[in-house]
A = this chain, B = another copy of it.
């Protein structure tokens, strides 16, 4: 359900409705209004576009959910595209958030239904933090900050998974291991493409010189910029660690193959010559003097024991056993 929150330093109210007209009636003429649109439909977006003079290209970008994160300055408004990531059980859920920032209104477009910004809503209604005393750009900052914070939650989860993969790397021999690695790699690629363009977006906002972005916001944007860089660097570290896990796995498989080979070689190398010897005295030649000798049998055992012991010494010297 779409909603509008009107607020100013002295008060704040929320009104939820599926009809855009009803929402707009609750617009705050004196203070700031935050309109939140859930689950994009093109009629609502177009109606808002007409009301707030939004450029047709912006409308197109809001409705096309395959946008790269970006920031665009227009005559009357700032347009910000973000990619939010939520964790749903063991899966990640990507969602495009578009923000249109004007002097007295912030419009957020969420691709999917769901309450991304519940915490911020509560802070406004309960007058926690400084949102109610600040201008509309501060609300936009708080919204972006919430999205970036989610990246760290997701990165922590990815970090846990990489550690699990590290543990499996030396044991696992089934093919799901590499599929899981590829899954994590894909997640990191997605994260990278969500996070990386944000650096540029924020730099653009900081240096825009637009009257919509007040000077007081500058340290906050710098701070957010630092966080984004940290997130981007964490993604890169995770990718390197993942490479390390693959190497661990390759090395572990090679080691295991080597050990299996050794067992086979030790057993074969000891018994193959002995089997040959017993084969010799299993031959049916009429003229085999050893066979009738009373010491033939024990001497054969002795020779075989010597061979076996010799082989074991050989393997010992090579440190195979």
Contact = CB atoms under 8 A, between A and B. Distances in A.
Contacts of A294: 287
A114 interface: no
A279 interface: yes
Contacts of A230: 66-68
A283 B248 CA distance: 50
Contact of A179 (B72, B170, B261): B170
Interface string A216-227: 000110110010
B185 A166 contact: no
B233 A193 contact: yes
Contact of A288 (B267, B268, B297): B297
A262 B67 CA distance: 50
Interface in A172-228: 173-175, 177-179, 181-182, 185-186, 189, 193, 219-220, 222-223, 226
A258 interface: yes
Contacts of A55: 219
Interface in A213-251: 219-220, 222-223, 226, 229-230, 233, 237, 240-241, 244-251
B300 A292 contact: no
Nearest to A242: B244
A250 B245 CA distance: 14
Interface stretch (A20-28, A39-47, A269-277): A269-277
Contacts of A185: 240-241, 244
A297 B281 CA distance: 11
Contacts of A263: 265, 269
Contacts of A283: 278, 281-282, 284, 291, 297, 300
User: Which 4 A-B pairs rank lowest in CB-CB distance, beginning with the nearest?
Assistant: A278-B279, A281-B283, A170-B175, A178-B248
